[in-house]
Structure 1
Amino acid sequence: MRGSGEPPAAQPLPVTFPVPDPPRPKARRPTGAAEAPAGERQLVFFGAETGEPAVADLAGLLVGPGEVHRMGGTARLSLVVDAGWRVHVLVAELAQRGVRASWAPTEDQRYAVRTAYTRTLVPLAAAWLRGTTQHPPAGFPLDGRRLRLWLAAAGVADPPDFLLRLGGTDPVGWTVIGGALVAAGLGGELIEPGAGGPAYRIIGRRGTQRLAELVGERPSAAPPTAWPTRD
């Protein structure tokens, strides 16, 4: 069984979950607009809901298990995830950025998600690849939209903490990502491969709440226990 990013009626996704969320509406508050009334949720500076989805956001997948490959004047993004709900979320997020994705089950009961080769992803490949080696570019920033994609692909709740699993085998790259987490207000603790990583542990209730502020509302496909909350 394989999938092509078509609507669920034409191409069912791997498990029974709600259909992918529709694109999120633009959430910027106009300059000079009044503050939200008491009790209403405030938008967070650099949060996932404060800007329009962009192809550059897909760098959040490369922080985790995502890989980008070039072929001629095109590039493709691929990753393997461990749960069907992640497929739903990622296919929807990619579609919001004009990138079609397909999926297929793997022999170890996970799911491979990948895009077609497209010129749309060439800038992402150019920023992250040196030859065939994948590495975060210098000064790499993490905002809410990139964190949302990283979390959707590889975030794991470990109450009261939250784990953001890393991809690759590049300790120097992991250090760059750790600096980006600090800049985003998420000082994570690096877990080495031999200790159950590689991953960054976002520690405690305060850290998890900050993560929740940045990544935005839980997608309907994600189980409640799989997404950080502001409570």
Structure 2
Amino acid sequence: MSYPDVAAPDPLGGPEPWPTELQRTLDRMKGAVELAHRAQWSAHRRWEEAERDVGKTAALREGEADAEWHALLLEQAQARSTLALAHREQATEEAVAAIRRYAHALCAAYTASVEGSPAGADLTAAVVAAADAGRDNPKVPKPPVCGLHRVDTAVQGAYGTLAGTRTRKRPLPKQMQPSARSVWKDFTDPPAHDLAVRRLQDLSWTLASYVNGGALRRELHPPAARAEASPAGS
């Protein structure tokens, strides 16, 4: 009987169970992407509110007595709009950085899952290092082929779409898409990320669906198979 959730070394010398700390690390990075997106939505909303204030202020009737005061109000409204736009741009940059970190981390975790690399603290550190190094890098390493048709079709297809060698024919399932806004009444959506970033997100959700919880790792390197392969009495 195997206990894949027990954080203990494998007595057969094979890959250890999926570390809890590694999964927590990946979950935190995914959470950072979601938080960054919410910050981007909020910044966009504040910018739209500031733009509306500019429009309302500009539409006020200008009398000779208060023209100077009106001009000052309009200047202040425009300054708020400019500042809000800068905040939205910064929030967008931080969202892209979070997406890149998560994608690079998942690529490292996926590769380790396929290769059956030791899954202790060193792997967690390597995944974090890959995320940090990839923060400003839009290009991720190509995931290795694992030999499972359903997995390779999805992962290699998503990577091919990112690299521009394939075209996705169907959208991602809803459960693999990033969380959307909750209520956005009377406001527009913020500008969408460029195509490369959206494709990087698609690859991330695809990798995460196989990496999370060590599911792919256990399927490729099951304890039962290693037990059958070990010499009797060893």
Task: Name the TM-score class by shorter chain.
Answer: under 0.3
| Larger radius of gyration between Structure 1 and Structure 2 | 2
TM-score after normalising by structure 2: 0.24
